[in-house]
Amino acid sequence: MYKLAKFLMGGRVIVTKFQANSSRVDRFVQQTKAFNVLTAAGKTALLHHVKLAAITLFSAATLFCTASDSAAQSASSNQFSGIGRTATAAEVKAWDIDVRPDLKGLPAGSGKVQDGQTLWDNKCASCHGTFGESNEVFTPLVGGTTAADVKRGRVASLTDPKQPQRSTLMKVATISSLYDYIYRAMPWNAPRSLTADDTYAVLAYMLNLAEILPDDFELSNKNMAEVQQLMPNRNGMTREHGMWRIDDAPDVKAVACMSNCVETVKITSSLPDYARNAHENLAEQNRGYGPFRGVDTTRPPVAKLPGSDLGRLAQAGSTATGTTSSAAAPTPKSGTPATLMPAADLFKKQNCFACHAANSKLVGPSLAEIAIKYKNQPTSEAMLTEKVIKGGAGVWGAIPMPAQNQLSTADSQALVKWILATH
């Protein structure tokens, strides 16, 4: 004997058909407002019919969800058939490069301090300085640590108000953080171009600059744990606070006084106009990888912080509306003798390839692009010779070319002639 049950559930009416010791979903129909249970005679069903139908409804809904999910997956598979494939083991390995603080994920390899110095001079020094002191854009990597800090595992100068800057090695607690970042993100213009051995060598040299490792040291995956115990601020990271475990007590026990509050906090110092745009527009000086930030330094600073009219927020910056001006580049040293070497070798010695490749744009234009733009202009050689020494910006974008005032006029002219003639 068959019994037909029709139920309103959500946006659908489920029609089921029962038979002795069996049940199945026949079909689904659009929503109606009817809710009734029909018997073969077409009369009002008994209560036990309703209970039976309700149980069946639950089972049918479960079957419907399972069937729908399977159908959706099948449809999706059919819809994108032939697109994509399973990643190979080599591809997964190339992507899975993170190194944990317990050194899990550290690749096998090694690098010597002296090899790291060569890599540093060629790939790192242009931004981070010959000795890790960094140039005027980046903060120092090395400095502010002592032999006593290495022994204690805590950098004393972090709490010294006279310390002018905090270097990377003053702050970082784990050597894995340094390895991981260098390997995945450096050098700036060619991330992921360093091998595992290169990264060990660069890191060894960086720690040597900080007088943590000796000149003849070879850093490897086998002794990284030992070197971790020499990190100057290895004990500077604590888990004794509420941010580590949700049920911990907070590490700050401040009590708001809520009395004698200052109406408005005034900022009494600000960058002068000439310094604000000294490196051109910071908003446009971001590489094409990862997150970035940068204030538009071609505009005057805001008169006050956003939202300061809504409460007691600080007024920020200067209200000056005058135009900004770039800082003048240093003038070249007079009488600097020319080097007696081929222009191609001089190009390498001066680390020009860190920003300029032969045929593709890096930080600056390629040599081929420069040659195409200027080789047929009669005054280009003299103009470019001066520009190499004094620096400049704006022709190839907002990223400035720093002044190369260590070059003599003769060397600069030799480089320009070589670029225009051979590219």
**Residues 371 and 308 placed together within one structural domain of the fold:** no
What confidence score (pLDDT) does residue 20 get?
42
Do 125 and 66 sit in the same domain of this protein? no
Asked if the structure places residue 244 within a domain, the reply is: no
Please name the helix (run of DSSP H) or strand (run of DSSP E) that holds residue 344, with its range, or none.
helix 343-349
Question: Which tokens sit at 146?
Answer: 């002592």
Whether residue 332 is contained in a domain is answered as no
Q: Are residues 198 and 292 in the same domain?
A: no
- The reply to whether 366 falls in a domain is yes
Question: What's the pLDDT at 293?
Answer: 59
**What are φ and ψ of residue 9, in 5° steps?**
-145, 115
Of 298, 327, 356, which residue constitutes the final position of a domain?
327
Q: In degrees, to the nearest 5, what angle opens at C-alpha 374 toward C-alphas 368 and 377?
A: 150
* Sole residue written with tokens 């051995």: 197
* Structural domain includes residue 89: no
Other C-beta atoms closer than 10 Å to the C-beta of 124 total 25
Say whether both 115 and 204 belong to one domain: yes
Does 222 lie in the same domain as 103?
A: yes
Nearest to 375 by CA among 364, 363, 367: 367
Of 27, 53, 79, the residue at which a domain comes to its end is: 79
Contact between 139 and 168 under an 8 Å Cβ cutoff? The reply is: yes
CB atoms within 10 A of CB 367: 21
Give the pLDDT score at 22. 40
199 and 112, same structural domain? Answer: yes
Question: Is the previous residue joined to 187 through a cis bond, with omega within 30 degrees of 0?
Answer: yes
Residues 6 or more apart in contact with residue 1 via CB below 8 angstroms: 19, 20, 40
In a domain, 334, yes or no: no
Alpha helices in 269-324 (DSSP H): 273-276
Q: Show the tokens assigned to 169.
A: 């090695």
pLDDT of residue 170: 95
* Residue 189, pLDDT score: 81
DSSP one-letter code for 215? T
Do 314 and 355 reside in the same domain of the chain? Answer: no
What's the domain range around 290? 262-327
Residue 204's CATH number? 1.10.760.10
Phi, psi of 399 (to 5 degrees): -75, 120
Residue length of the chain:
423
How many CA atoms does the CB half-sphere of 211 hold within 13 Å? 9
Q: Are 7 and 35 in contact (CB under 8 A)?
A: yes
Please report whether residue 198 resides in a domain: yes
Query: Token digits for 382?
Result: 């003299």
If asked whether residues 99 and 153 sit together in one domain, one would say: yes
Give the pLDDT score at 287: 58
Residues 323 and 379 in one domain: no
Query: Of 79, 103, 123, which closes a domain?
Result: 79
Give the pLDDT of the chain (423 residues) as one tens digit per residue.
Answer: 333 343 444 434 444 444 444 433 333 333 333 333 333 444 444 444 444 544 555 555 554 545 555 555 555 556 777 788 888 999 998 889 999 999 999 999 999 999 999 999 999 998 898 999 887 678 899 999 999 999 999 999 998 888 888 899 999 999 999 999 999 999 988 899 999 999 999 999 999 999 999 999 999 999 999 999 999 999 998 776 666 666 766 666 777 777 777 777 676 767 677 777 777 777 777 655 555 556 778 877 776 655 455 444 333 333 333 443 333 434 444 445 566 688 888 888 888 877 888 888 877 888 999 999 998 888 999 999 999 998 887 788 767 788 888 889 999 999 999 999 887
Give the containing element (helix H, strand E) for 30: strand 22-30
On whether both 200 and 304 belong to a single domain, the answer is no
Both 44 and 99 in one domain: the answer is no
| Count of the separate structural domains present in the chain | 4
Per-residue confidence (pLDDT) for residue 337, from 0 to 100: 59
Distance (Å, whole) CA 255 – CA 348:
59
Residues linked to residue 88 through DSSP beta bridges, in sequence order: none
Same domain, 128 and 222: yes
Confidence (pLDDT) at 230: 97
Query: Is 236 inside a domain boundary?
Result: no
φ and ψ of 7, to 5 deg:
-130, 145
DSSP letter string, 150-187: HHHTS-GGGG-TT-----HHHH---HHHHHHHHHHH-S
In a domain, residue 407? The reply is yes
Closest CA relative to residue 212, chosen from 154, 150, 156: 150
